[in-house]
Amino acid sequence: MYKTSSPKVQLPAGTYPAGLLASFAPRLIAWQREHGRHDLPWQNTRDPYRIWLSEIMLQQTQVSTVIPYYARFLERFPTVEALAAAPSDDVMALWAGLGYYTRARNLHRCAQVVTDEHGGQFPSTGEALAELPGIGRSTGAAIASFAFGARETILDGNVKRVLARVFGVEGFPGEKRVENAMWTLAESIVPGAAASDAEVSAYTQGLMDLGATLCGRGKPDCARCPFAADCVANATGRQRELPAARPKKVVPQRRTWMLVLMDGDAVMLEKRPPSGIWGGLWSLPEAADEAALAERAQAYGASDAAAKGIPLMPLTHTFTHFKLDIEPRLVEVMRDAAALEANDGAFAWVPLAQIDAYGVPAPVRKLLDGLRGPLL
DNA sequence: AAACCGGGGCA
DNA sequence: TGCCCAGGTTT
């Protein structure tokens, strides 16, 4: 749910230089007009449909990738009603290749809500726009400012970087406290009430352009920046420290035992459940400890003596949220043809040379690749 | 390999 | 209400 006035806290006087706060918008607008981007396909229109479509596509996707998709979408769906009426498959097919497919589903749903519940008209405030599927606070503000001249601020990753550097905002922007402070700051520097719609658009576009061009993550081009003389990061050489990086949290270590069950040159792979880690991929049978793994091996026909298996080289795989230590155990058996008949697609014996034809998690593939030479 | 990313779902 | 995730790309 969108919070109208974000934190209900005023920017305390003296937190930032008053001159910089007051001059920020006019200087950004002047810079955008001189040095910003002006020829993107979704600029120079005030059609909320076209602006909305571009903003959704631009979430997590760069401009050059979006451009051809944007053109195809508009050609096929010139209006929000046309998009709303389209079969889901058509929408998904046109989106194919852009990634983040929940965006496409939300896009379609949003078009239907606008058509069915808003008479085909997009709402004109960020708050109302953010009620729609796939539109959050920042995207809502972007659409409202470009399409309706609303003096509302965006706050995406680019803008957070610019504000953190220019104003010297400390702390990790992913932290709620810091993000709230940035919303307050961003709201306090939007163009004044006298600003024209064109100035409001240039301002929002300027925030995007500055973050995307001069003030990028890697090495900002401070020499060309309109705020170089006031920028805290530039003055202190802390461009690389601002904004503060996500605090490294110690990722949890997990450990799993994997059964490399071999019959000749074939290894047994199990199909994983459709959701969760490696959902739907083919992988080795797993157990939480060595004893449990031995039981699984016996269930697949290994003798008591052989079930513990031969330890292979352990390997570590890093996920976003945890590290996984894999302890492989090699067990050789004679495959059970009857069980294979009855297995219902739950497992398969696959010659090592053919595992590339199966969807196998990268670390498991690596493990199995290591087995090919010596054993054959 | 690690950092980054707006919105949505969920505790 | 705040935290974390999914599913990608960039560095």
Q: Is residue A248 part of a domain?
A: no
A320: exposed, middle or buried (C-beta count within 10 Å: 0-12, 13-18, 19+)?
A: exposed
- Per-residue confidence at A363, pLDDT binned at 50, 70, 90? confident
* Nucleic strand B within 7 A of Cβ A322: no
A268/A300 Cα distance (integer angstroms): 10
Is residue A199 part of the annotated active site? The answer reads no
Return the minimum-mean-pLDDT range out of A88-97, A158-167, A181-190.
A88-97
Residues 6+ apart with CB under 8 A from A138: A154, A155, A156
Tokens at A300, concatenated: 């697949």
Q: Is residue A245 part of a domain?
A: no
Nucleotides of chain C in contact with protein CB (under 7 A) are 1-11
Distance of CA A211 to the CA centre of its chain: 18
Q: How many structural domains does chain A have?
A: 2
CB A9 within 8 A of CB A185: no
Write the CATH number for A330. Answer: 3.90.79.10
The one-letter amino acid code at A90 reads D
A357/A344 Cα distance (integer angstroms): 19
Write the CATH number for A172. Answer: 1.10.340.30
- Print the SS3 string covering A118-182: CCCCCCCCHHHHCCCCCCCHHHHHHHHHHHHCCCCCCCCHHHHHHHHHHHCCCCCCCCHHHHHHH
Shared domain check, A267 and A218: no
Shared domain check, A179 and A61: yes
Q: What is the domain extent for residue A318? A: 253-370
Return the minimum-mean-pLDDT range out of A121-130, A231-240, A343-352.
A343-352
Among the candidates A173, A202, A236, a domain finishes at A236
Shared domain check, A337 and A263: yes
Shared domain check, A283 and A170: no
Among the candidates A173, A203, A236, a domain finishes at A236
User: What whole-number percentage of chain A has pLDDT above 90?
Assistant: 58
Q: Is residue A174 part of a domain?
A: yes
| pLDDT score of A263 | 94
Q: Is residue A201 part of a domain?
A: yes
| A 148-167 residues, CB < 7 A, strand B | 156-158, 160-161
Say if residue A345's pLDDT is above 90. Answer: no
Say if residue A199's pLDDT is above 60. Answer: yes
Among the candidates A203, A236, A269, a domain finishes at A236
